[in-house]
């Protein structure tokens, strides 16, 4: 499966929840996980500003992440399907790679339930599939 993890899933795994971290490791083993520069930049910014990660820690984490997921820069027109303009970057990546699922905790994305052929689900919904 081609999977996109939203920024909030990475943050949950890194900062808040050991179970999310363990499940994330399983997802990374069993599926193709994609990330875009937008998601990576948003993750780096939030770790620095909201969680006081050092530049060194963020750099190390980014390099590690780029080694275990597929970094893709989508091209073409940005979608305007989400109420949150930033979320359109996630949808753009999903459309570009023909993702099977976006895993997120974002209510704006979750309200869509599906975008083209991509399911949008929470981590717990995905876990029960």
86-98: pLDDT as tens digits: 889 999 999 999 9
- Average of pLDDT values for 8-36? 91
Q: Lowest mean pLDDT of 2-6, 24-28, 36-40, 111-115, name the range.
A: 24-28
**CATH number reported for the structural domain that contains residue 11 in this entry:** 3.40.50.1010
pTM across the whole model: 0.91
Residue 82: the pLDDT is: 67
**89-92 CB contacts, 8 Å cutoff, 24+ apart:** 89/36, 89/38, 89/39, 90/4, 90/6, 90/36, 90/38, 90/39, 91/115, 91/118, 92/36
Number of domains within the chain: 1
- Domain carrying residue 88: 2-127
Q: Residues 62-81: pLDDT tens digits?
A: 999 999 999 999 998 777 77
């Amino acid at each position: 499966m081609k999977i996109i993890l939203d920024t909030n899933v990475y943050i949950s795994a890194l900062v808040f929840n050991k179970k999310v971290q363990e499940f994330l490791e399983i997802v990374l083993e069993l599926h193709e996980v994609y990330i875009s520069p937008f998601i990576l930049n948003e993750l780096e910014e939030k770790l620095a500003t909201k969680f006081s990660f050092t530049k060194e820690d963020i750099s190390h984490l980014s390099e590690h992440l780029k080694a275990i997921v597929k970094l893709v820069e989508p091209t073409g027109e940005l979608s305007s399907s989400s109420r949150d303009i930033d979320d359109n970057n996630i949808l753009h990546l999903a459309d570009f790679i023909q993702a099977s699922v976006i895993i997120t905790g974002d209510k704006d994305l979750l309200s869509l339930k599906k975008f083209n052929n991509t399911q949008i689900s929470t981590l717990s919904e995905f876990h029960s599939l």
